[in-house]
Chain A
Amino acid sequence: MIQGVQIDLISAERLDRMTSMEKIRLILDDVMEGNIVVLEKGLSPEEQSRLIEMTMMEISPDGFSGIEMETYSAREGQSSPGFFGKLLGKKGPGARMTVIGPANQMKTIKKDKDLISAWVSSR
């Protein structure tokens, strides 16, 4: 039987239709099954913060040990929306393509401003 890893690529349109908690749950459920998740459009800083918090709650001895996540920094020139921007519903610098996998299967080999190189193993 061929050994392999499932990769789920989630489109920006689908992500736009989901609430923050739905996105986080989808990512964690998928990653905890040993899959790699690629988000066409990444998470907002607030969602990233919640993802870290929820990941911590799922960690268990000899089981799930957390996530490896890679994305690029915000584009140069993009800054926080400021007070009025927030009033108008802006959420901050646009989130960028993101790869998330189980920490025990995915390792980052190289990460630069414009290049991310990762290695993935099957379970």
Chain B
Amino acid sequence: MNLFIRTKKRLSRFLSAFLKKRQSRIGIYGPPNAGKTTLSNRIVRDWTGDALGPVSEIPHETRRARRKEGITISNQNGNSLTLDIVDTPGVTTKIDYQEFVEYGIEKEEAIKRAREATEGVAEAMHWLREDIDGVIYMLDATLDPFTQVNIMLVGIIESRDLPVLIVANKIDLPDAAPQRIMKAFPQHPVIAISGLEGDNMEELYEHMLKVFG
């Protein structure tokens, strides 16, 4: 390849990197065990056939933020949107290693997990302040949504003027009451889904196109 072609390619790469707006980073936030990784895996699998991370009933299974770049979602009308999905550790104001011991994990491993979980929460907060362009806020529809962490996080998201979609997850469970979540956060669109069963995902994708597009 002669020098002229190489220089032209480099210049074009530089210009496209300089001029092109980067893809929106959509953070999946929420308290521990709301189903964030299950939903992230579902979205990534539906559009790329891949997965993002392991899922467990033990809280704080996700202790590092994970990003999947370049997911293109589309609808039947031909609208499409390419974004990065960031699966984040569950946010809380307290972590006790005894919580892991109760799940049968050895003390030493439980202390290690607790330390990683604290780092993960701090990391999630940092991403929210610095690097997130939109939020899917996940809630377990079988639980009371009026918790301090939920109120605080939705407040933080609103103060940053980030577009937000609230997801009422686990509607496949008999105790699910997504209307409680709709009542708690009437200022935001709330989509009721089951990330595990894949129920109502089409509606979620339609809203993602509308809210994050």
User: What is A's interface to B at a CB cutoff of 8 Å?
Assistant: 44-46, 48-50, 52-53, 55-57, 59, 61, 65-71, 73-74, 79-80, 82-83, 91-93, 103-104, 108, 111-113
Contact = CB atoms under 8 A, between A and B. Distances in A.
Given A45-B156, A111-B146, A52 B93 contact: yes
Contact of B156 (A49, A67, A83, A113): A49
A92 B159 contact: yes
Interface string B114-143: 110011011001101100000000000000
The A contact surface, by secondary structure, is mixed
15 contacts: A46-B156, A46-B159, A49-B128, A50-B125, A52-B125, A53-B126, A55-B93, A59-B118, A61-B97, A68-B148, A69-B148, A70-B148, A83-B161, A103-B93, A104-B96
Given A66-B94, A66-B96, A103-B94, A57 B118 contact: yes
A52 B155 CA distance: 14
Interface residues of B, number: 31
B109 interface: no
B148 A65 contact: no
B94 A65 contact: yes
Nearest to B125: A53
A57 B122 contact: yes
Nearest to A61: B111
Contacts of B125: 49-50, 52-53
A82 B111 CA distance: 43
Contacts of A44: 159
A59 B125 CA distance: 16
A53 B122 contact: yes
B95 A45 contact: no
Contacts of B96: 65-66, 103-104
Nearest to B114: A61
Contacts of A67: 93-94
Nearest to A92: B159
A112 B146 CA distance: 7
A88 B127 CA distance: 26
Contacts of A53: 121-122, 125-126
A23 to B, nearest CB: 15
Given A46-B159, A59-B114, A83-B161, 4 more contacts: A55-B93, A67-B93, A68-B93, A68-B94
